[in-house]
Structures are given as C-alpha cells and as structure tokens.
C-alpha cells in the first residue's frame, strides 16, 4: 500500500513548515491543501495509507476521511492553533498536534499512525 500525507491548513506557513518537517523523516508523497474542499480532487484514490493533518477549524464536526475509507486506510490528526491537548480529540481522529509540538513527536505520531490498522492510536505514557 502506498503512503500519502495530506496537510490541510489555511496558513501557507503552517502547510510548508509541516511539509518541511515531515520530509526530514519520511519519503512519502505530501500534498498541501488550503481548504477541505480541495480533497474532492483526490476521492478516486485506491489502495493508499493516508494521513490527513487537518486544521481543527476545517473539521466542521465531520470526518473528512469518510470518502476515502472504502478503498484506503485513512487516519486523521488534528492541527490545533492553540495547545493541542486542551480538549478531547473527536472519535474519528487519532491525535492532535499544534505549533508547539516538537518535530520528533510529530514524527513519532505519524509513525504510530502508519503502524495501526483500524484501531485508534494509543499514546505512550510520557
């Protein structure tokens, strides 16, 4: 299964910064999208492991990975502009990160998402 990462955030700086961090750790296709509607272009993907890193305000209370679930293995990580762990993560999301999340921790979260199949990512006690 191929692996793809979608970064969906309204800020160009956040999208490019996250992409730069992820390229240091992973050699996967990274897509940077400004809004959730841009995902419509990719609904025909099949046989992919996909991680969506999406700005919290763009979630709109619904799971953006639903159109991808039939033929792929999608996971969602919320990007919060404030502190990432101040409120619960929606049940369809694996984890949350924010501007203060260290790059090594982001890499660990992504790696754990690739390893889990169908079950929610479990954080290690730290």
Give residue-wise pLDDT tens across range 66-120.
999 999 999 999 998 776 566 777 788 889 999 889 999 999 999 999 886 654 4
Answer left, alpha or beta for residue 12, where phi above 0 means left and psi between -120 and 50 means alpha.
Answer: alpha
- pLDDT per position as a tens digit, 13-62: 999 999 999 999 999 999 999 999 999 999 999 999 999 999 998 987 78
DSSP symbol at 121: -
Domain ranges (residues) in the chain: 2-115
Model confidence, pTM: 0.86
> Do strands 48-55 and 95-98 pair parallel, antiparallel, or not at all (unpaired)?
unpaired
Q: What is the fold of 2-115? A: Rossmann fold (3.40.50)
């Amino acid at each position: 299964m191929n692996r793809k990462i979608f970064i969906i955030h309204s800020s160009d700086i956040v999208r490019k910064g996250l992409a730069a961090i992820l390229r240091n750790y992973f050699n996967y296709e990274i897509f940077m999208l400004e809004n959730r509607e841009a995902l419509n272009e990719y609904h025909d993907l099949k046989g992919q492991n996909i991680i969506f890193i999406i700005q919290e305000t763009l979630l709109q209370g619904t799971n953006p990975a639903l159109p991808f679930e039939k033929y792929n293995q999608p996971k969602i990580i919320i990007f919060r502009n404030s502190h990432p762990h101040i409120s619960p993560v929606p049940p369809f999301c694996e984890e949350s990160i924010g501007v203060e999340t260290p790059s090594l921790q982001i890499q660990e979260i992504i790696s754990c998402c690739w390893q889990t199949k169908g079950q929610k990512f479990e954080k290690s006690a730290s």
